[in-house]
Structure 1
């Protein structure tokens, strides 16, 4: 199945543009074009429910989808996406045709998962199944395959990298215009999550992740969301990268300041967190032993 692609980039973000162009050239994804992002500074009106940066992001993704050719799958990237070396091979492997055959509208190359034990175990088991064996000397991107995980229960947020199938290109524009007409009430990625959970959008998350936000990219984000704390950014970003089919260098350092931080004074909540962590390890170990 043919594929088109774009990455969304502000005119003033020249460093990110250069980095994305170099990465796409290295991976042979030269058909992925740059799309100029809508700048929040140019917006005259916006919803009070979301920040101007979030509104501009929503409009930029909507424009990418509505401008796409309806007969080809569309790869959408944000300009802080770090792509796995495995991505070109996966795209050539027939995964696009498989997504279309299974009735998918959208496939996320990564996301912030809803952190239930069930979801994290699904991602962990996928890693163990698809990554090369430890000690083999093979790089993490030498995957044995890719898994499709139902996005309705796994996907929380994230629009760094995703595929929209031709079916999705017929469905998604009207849904996005409907959301824009009513505000939008939520940022773009949370809106996608709502569509997935109410059944109006059919989607999967590809695992292991074939993309991840570039380390530290949240620090210079243009979204301006006041709701995200430093701890949430650091821990959430580290969690996403842990499931990435690519290098993990710097991951320990990224999470170090928060990994054992006393995030609460409630002794019972801290005990609950410790119990959950230990039980997760036992469950993952027991599953691997079967």
Structure 2
């Protein structure tokens, strides 16, 4: 179905936009009006999907509470137009609009609709909760530009265990988006092997927060950092090192034992499906896989072999808190 998407402020939005939300949410889903209409409408951008016959059939809003985080909400498609790709088309348009503005997108999905959002690159990041009496799940996309680029071509881009095609990268921005997308979906394990904990790659607030969420999520969390050289960590503060010292039972760093063979290319393993592989230690070039069980087995064995021979960093232990 061919659609046109129109963008409005709340003050200039046509009545049709409100009518669609009223029909879908308050009439059909019985959402109380006092919950449906909120102050966020005043600050959000509102989008209306219109057919070639100029018939409004769907709407959504996009807003930001933090500078780099966008929120999608109030996605509504009229009943007679569902199942025709309207929701996906509107979502893809919102993601394209967001690609240059936000480094992360978040939304609250009704439980039955999570497949729509996973198909566009959003992953579930909460347990089920109730909102207006309807089961919901929080979802997020940690690389909107990449997901927007791939959504028309891939099923479930960037979704761990579902995206079956590898992603190539040859620049730092693309690499970091893939790295964060992998780390943000880790449920139990994140193993990282590199020459150093490069500050440009790993000393970032978002990556620290993603690792922290995993390390604190449950007692079986397994976060391991395996590096060759800790000198830069001693000379300059690093967010992962500070995190490690706060949750030492869940996050451990060791130094490679140079008396034993070691891998000559860095990599990161996430659970049993995710892999990021770089061709050289000092360059952001390589590939990421969200469904690479076969490759992961070999990397897992190599990491474990190096880990067993490695030693803790005495220098980091002696640093003052």
TM range, smaller chain: under 0.3
Scaled by the length of structure 2, the TM-score of the pair is 0.22
Report which of the two structures shows the higher radius of gyration computed on alpha carbons. Answer: 2
Q: Which has the higher strand share?
A: 2
**Which gives a bigger RCO, structure 1 or 2 (Cα 8 Å, sep 6+)?**
1
Scaled by the length of structure 1, the TM-score of the pair is 0.24
